[in-house]
Amino acid sequence: MFQIVSFDAGNGPVVGLRDGDNYYDSSTFSSMREIIDQWPLAIEKLSTAAQRTAERTPLTGVKLLAPLAEPRNIYITGANYTDHIEEMSKALGVQLVEDARNKGYPPWFVPKATTSVAGPGALVQIPPGVERLDWELELAVIIGREGKDVPLSEALDYVAGYTVSNDLSARDRMARDYEAPESALRLDWLRHKSFDGSCPMGPAITPATLVPDVQNLAIKLWVNDELMQDSNTSLMVYSVADLVSGLSQQITIKPGDVILTGTPAGVGTATQQFLRSGDRVRQSIESIGEFEFTIG
């Protein structure tokens, strides 16, 4: 199985293919955005190139970069794993709705700054004054076609591929304490979710056609080699197809948009264990990839 990567082999950022542990540059495309903007024609060319890698010499000294360093938009999905909803209900002392989809409620999306993207091996700095920096491992969906009001039955046709991401969250910035608890202005999603480096992403984009069942993937995260999140995408409340279709009911989706699909149980808030300078975070999603970043 091949994957699409962004990397630096000593001469600046390029895009190419990864086949196992081997890396090959792509002379056809100059950037990942160019590939995504030309999907699905681009995937045909890349598939052909992948079949010929045996004829080429792999590159050495490769440094992986964020596969899509400049997404068009990033949308995060709230409360989308049943096990996470259960743990957060206990942690917050509030019963969250567990069966929102079955009750006919639409998915819940929040924008995240595109400048928050960081790559594999990144050193993510804790924002000044933040003491409760939390991890949220998430499957990221890369949109490859423009669409509006996409039918659920066709939604996966709009997906170019998948990558691994983390929706790092500053929990002590979640609410503005000077607003009353019942105020609609109390929550501050921008400061909570968007800051430099708050969206580590990588190590590659796996084409959607190479993932047989996106709703049955093991998803795991370790902090300093301690397993913190251990779940499966089968526990999503809204499937990937639900999310793509649902987002397109609200706004036109376009190539290069990224949907973070929610995090499973095991976040730091549940145990009041948060990230500190020097912590190593390793995250893995079956068939998609694994990478590590460090907290500065």
User: What is the domain count for the chain?
Assistant: 2
- Lowest mean pLDDT, pick from 11-15, 109-113, 130-134, 208-212: 11-15
| pLDDT (0 to 100) of residue 98 | 83
- Lowest mean pLDDT, pick from 94-108, 168-182, 239-253: 168-182
Q: Do residues 80 and 221 both lie within one domain? A: yes
Picking from 11, 38, 64, the residue at the C-terminal end of a domain is 64
Q: Do residues 17 and 106 both lie within one domain? A: no
> In three state form, how does the secondary structure of the chain look?
CEEEEEEECCCCEEEEEEECCEEEECCCCCCHHHHHHCCCHHHHHHHHHHCCHHHCCCCCCCEECCCCCCCCEEEEECCCEHHHHHHHHHHHCCCCCCCCCCCCCCCCEEEECHHHEECCCCEECCCCCCCCEECCEEEEEEECCCECCCCHHHHHHHEEEEEEEECCEEHHHCECCCCCCCCCCCECHHHHHCCCCCEEEEEEEEEHHHCCCCCCCEEEEEECCEEEEEEEHHHECCCHHHHHHHHHHHCCECCCEEEECCCCCCCHHHCCCCECCCCEEEEEECCCEEEEEEEC
Q: Do residues 89 and 114 both lie within one domain? A: yes
43 phi, psi to nearest 5 deg: -70, -30
Picking from 33, 64, 95, the residue at the C-terminal end of a domain is 64
144 phi, psi to nearest 5 deg: -120, 0
- Tell me what the mean pLDDT of segment 78-83 comes to: 96
Residue 180 has pLDDT above 80, yes or no: no
| pLDDT (0 to 100) of residue 112 | 98
HSE of 189 in the Cβ direction (CA atoms, 13 Å)?
Answer: 13
- Lowest mean pLDDT, pick from 68-72, 187-191, 206-210: 187-191
- Tell me what the mean pLDDT of segment 104-110 comes to: 97
First to last CA, the chain: 34
CA distance 112 to 104: 25
Q: Do residues 41 and 144 both lie within one domain? A: no
Q: Do residues 254 and 152 both lie within one domain? A: yes
| Residue 288 contacts residue 218 (beta carbons within 8 Å) | no
- Tell me what the mean pLDDT of segment 147-163 comes to: 99
In our burial notation (b when 16+ CB lie closer than 10 A, e otherwise), range 185-223 reads: eeeeeebbbbbebbbbbbbbbbbbeebeebeebebbbbb
The residue type at 289: G
Q: Do residues 48 and 80 both lie within one domain? A: no
Q: Do residues 110 and 199 both lie within one domain? A: yes
CATH code for position 212: 3.90.850.10
Q: Do residues 118 and 244 both lie within one domain? A: yes
Q: Do residues 244 and 288 both lie within one domain? A: yes
Q: Do residues 260 and 126 both lie within one domain? A: yes
Cis peptide before 71 (omega within 30 of 0): no
Better-scored residue on pLDDT, 9 or 222: 222
Rounded to two decimals, the pTM is 0.95
Task: Tell me the percentage of the chain whose pLDDT exceeds 90.
Answer: 83
Q: Do residues 45 and 165 both lie within one domain? A: no
| pLDDT (0 to 100) of residue 28 | 86
Average pLDDT, the chain: 95
Task: Tell me the percentage of the chain whose pLDDT exceeds 70.
Answer: 99
Residue 92 has pLDDT above 90, yes or no: no
Q: Do residues 17 and 148 both lie within one domain? A: no
Q: Residue 260 burial by CB count (10 A; 0-12/13-18/19+): exposed, middle or buried?
A: buried
pLDDT band at 55 (very low <50, low <70, confident <90, very high): confident
| pLDDT (0 to 100) of residue 194 | 96
| pLDDT (0 to 100) of residue 175 | 64
Domain that holds residue 58: 2-64
Residue 186 has pLDDT above 80, yes or no: no
